Amino acid sequence: MSAVEESPAQPAMRTSHLIVHFVDSIQEVLRTMTGMSVEIGPPTLKKNPTPSYDVSGIIGLSGEFVGSMVLSFQQSTAQAIVNAFAGMAIAPDSADFPDAVGELANMIAGSAKTRFGGGTFISVPSIILGSGHTVARLNGVPCIVIPCHIAAGDFAVEVNIKPQFAAPLAPGAK
Amino acid sequence: MKILMVDDSRTMRNIQKNVLKILGDPIYTEAGDGVEALTCVASHPDGFDLLLVDWNMPNMDGLTFVKRLREKDKTTPIIMVTTEAEKARIIEAIKAGVNNYVIKPFTPDSLLERVKQTMAKCQPVPA
């Protein structure tokens, strides 16, 4: 094995410690911008590329860490959070609905990457509405799902990231 | 009071407008990116009293917009309202000419406080 090759388990080990930053960001953004408290379930490894729910806000990461974060809502949960965020009822077919989902995703990803300690950049959000869509993920990099619950229903944050440049392993390391 | 809001999220611009209602009845002009914001500035020769500018936007980001604006306008108060919270980014923004900084997510009170603070600091000196 060369100095920079790594086993499939290593990318997860290199990024799993960052999940706590996403958890903190989810709670901070929802509390500050909607007044809602979020129950966080145990993070799990995701096997398939279909986002957990029907409404997804996607943010790309580049720089020190690369990959994506997907904020995925049940429709009813998205509706409750968007209304609370905007301070008014937003119709699900209004252009403001995906806009609000995107801004929430932007805030969660932005707040999390700040907690990484710098050197990571986020893209502007992309939004997908409708069940059954898939999101292309980094090959060989685990996707970690953070299950979230509010009174109105469930949502999840899916994190699929890795360091841009893996540090070379020490000579002789296994 | 004339305020130019530059943010690619209309929802975010509306949230900021709701917070700033308390300042009276500001006249808002809105732009969804830096390119639109430069057009708004060019089409308002009397200028604005305050600019609220996001960082991450399509077409032209907020930092580039601020640098371009400051080539011609050194004085209009600018508050950057963004998720970019690393110290290095804040310093970069201040060097580019930003007067104050609000990190998303923000509470209504924190945004209002920064706006008041900025307007007080940037009051023109009486002749």
Q: What is the mean pLDDT of each run of 10 residues along chain B (127 residues)?
A: 97 96 92 98 96 97 98 96 94 97 96 95 72
Say yes or no for a CB contact (<8 Å) between B104 and A102.
Answer: no
- Answer yes or no: do B83 and A122 touch at CB < 8 A: yes
Q: Do residues A138 and A14 touch, judged by C-beta distance below 8 A? A: no
Residue B125: predicted pLDDT: 62
Chain B residues within an 8 Å CB radius of A29? 105
Contacts of residue A32 in chain B, CB cutoff 8 Å?
105-107
Interface-testing mutation among A69, A107, A108, A120, with chain B (most B C-beta atoms within 10 A) = A107
Predicted confidence at residue A7, as pLDDT, reads 46
Tell me the mean pLDDT in the region A108-127.
92
3-state SS track over A12-35:
HHHHHHHHHHHHHHHHHHHHHHHC
B49: CB partners within 8 A, 6+ apart? B1, B2, B3, B76, B77, B119
Inter-chain CB proximity A122 and B57 less than 8 Å: no
- Under the banding of pLDDT at 50, 70 and 90, the label for residue A169 is very low
Given an 8 Å threshold on Cβ–Cβ distance, is B11 in contact with A99? Answer: yes
Residue in chain A closest to B58 (alpha carbons) equals A124
Cβ contact, residue pair A114, B83, below 8 Å:
yes
- ipTM of the complex as predicted: 0.91
Is residue A82 within a helix (H) or strand (E), and if so which, with residue range? helix A75-86
Collect all residues of chain A within an 8 Å Cβ-Cβ radius of residue B83.
106-107, 109-111, 114, 122
- Enumerate the residues of chain A whose CB falls inside 8 A of the CB of residue B87: 118
CA distance A32 to A36: 8
Residue with tokens 């406080």: B113
> Quick check: helix, strand or coil at residue A159?
strand
Contact flag A124-B57 (C-beta cutoff 8 Å): yes
- By Cβ distance, the residue of A102, A110, A123 closest to B9 is A102
**Contact check, Cβ <8 Å, B10/A106:** no
CB atoms within 10 A of CB A32: 17
Digit-coded pLDDT (tens) for A12-53: 556 778 899 999 999 999 999 999 999 999 999 988 777 778
Statement: residue A6 has pLDDT above 50:
no
Residue percentage of chain A with pLDDT more than 70: 86
Record the pTM. 0.89
Q: A119 CA to chain B: closest CA distance, Å?
A: 9
Best B5, B8, B11 residue to mutate vs chain A (most A CBs within 10 Å): B11
